[in-house]
Amino acid sequence: MDQSTESQMKGKNYIPLVVTLTIVINGLIAVVFLMDGAASSASFDVTLLPMLNAIYNSFTTVFLLAALYAILKKNVKAHRRFIYAALTTTTLFLVTYLTHHAMTDATTYGGEGIMAGIYYFILFTHIPLAALIVPLALLSVIWGFTNQLRKHRKIVRWTMPLWLYVSITGVLIYILISPYYA
C-alpha cells in the first residue's frame, strides 16, 4: 500500500461502518432467535451445523493464539495473516450459526446440578461478550490495517482476551449441549 492510500485510509472515520455492522450482525442474531426455527423444513441434516460451529470456534482460537505468538515475536506479517484467518473462521461460524438457528428450534440444556450451573454460567457470560466482540474485533482489525497502532494496541488489550474467551466458551457450550440436540 502506498503512502497516499495509507494516509487516506488512516484519516477515514470507520466508526459509522463498525456501528452499522455491529447492529446488523447482532440484530440478525436476535431476529433468528425470535423466529425460533420458523424455517424448520430443512432438506439436509442441520445437526451437523452445531459441530461446524464448534470446529470454526476451535480454529478461531488456534488462529488467535498463533496471531498473539506472532506479534510477540514481532512478526507483523504472520500476525496479520492469522488475524485474517480468525476473522474468516469467525465469519464462517456466524453463517452456520445463523443457518442452524433459522432452521431449527432452540435446544435446551438437559443437565442438572453443578453441570447446569457451569453450563449457564458459561452461556450467560458468553452471550453478551459475543455481542461485544463484534465492534471490538472490527475496530482492532481496522486500526491495525490502517496502521493506527496506538489505537490498535490500546483496544487489542481488551479484544484478544475477550475474543479468545468467546471462541473457547463457544466450543465448551457445544460440548455441554451436544447430547441434547434432537
- pLDDT tens-digit profile of 15-60? 999 999 999 999 998 888 777 655 555 567 788 999 999 999 999 9
**Domain assignment present for 77:** yes
CB neighbours of residue 102 within 10 Å: 19
pLDDT of residue 168: 98
pLDDT of residue 164: 98
Say if residue 9's pLDDT is above 80: no
**Domain assignment present for 9:** no
Q: Residue-wise over 111-121: b if at least 16 C-beta within 10 A, else e?
A: eeeeeeeebee
pLDDT of residue 102: 86
Please tell me the distance from the alpha carbon of residue 73 to that of residue 65, in angstroms, as a whole number: 12
**Domain assignment present for 14:** no
Residue linked to cell 473462521: 89
**Domain assignment present for 163:** yes
**Domain assignment present for 31:** no
The range of the structural domain enclosing residue 100 comes to: 45-180
pLDDT of residue 114: 96
Contacts of 170 (CB under 8 A, 6+ apart): 53, 54, 57, 93, 126, 130
CATH of the domain at 83: 1.20.120.80
The angle subtended at Cα 89 by Cα 178 and Cα 115, nearest 5°, is 25
* Tally of structural domains, the chain: 1
Establish how many alpha carbons lie within 13 A of residue 130's alpha carbon, considering only the half-sphere containing its beta carbon. Answer: 24
pLDDT of residue 103: 84
Q: Is 112 helix (H, G, I), strand (E, B) or coil?
A: coil
pLDDT of residue 45: 78
For the entire predicted model, the pTM comes to 0.86
Please tell me the distance from the alpha carbon of residue 89 to that of residue 93, in angstroms, as a whole number: 6
- pLDDT tens-digit profile of 85-123? 999 999 999 999 998 888 888 888 999 999 999 999 999
**Domain assignment present for 156:** yes
Rg (C-alpha) for the chain, rounded Å, is 18
**Domain assignment present for 75:** yes
Are the beta carbons of 67 and 87 closer than 8 angstroms? no
- pLDDT tens-digit profile of 125-182? 999 999 999 999 999 999 999 999 999 999 999 999 999 999 999 999 999 999 987 6
Nearest Cα to Cα of residue 44 among 89, 108, 109, 99: 99
**Domain assignment present for 101:** yes
pLDDT of residue 107: 85
Establish how many alpha carbons lie within 13 A of residue 99's alpha carbon, considering only the half-sphere containing its beta carbon. Answer: 18
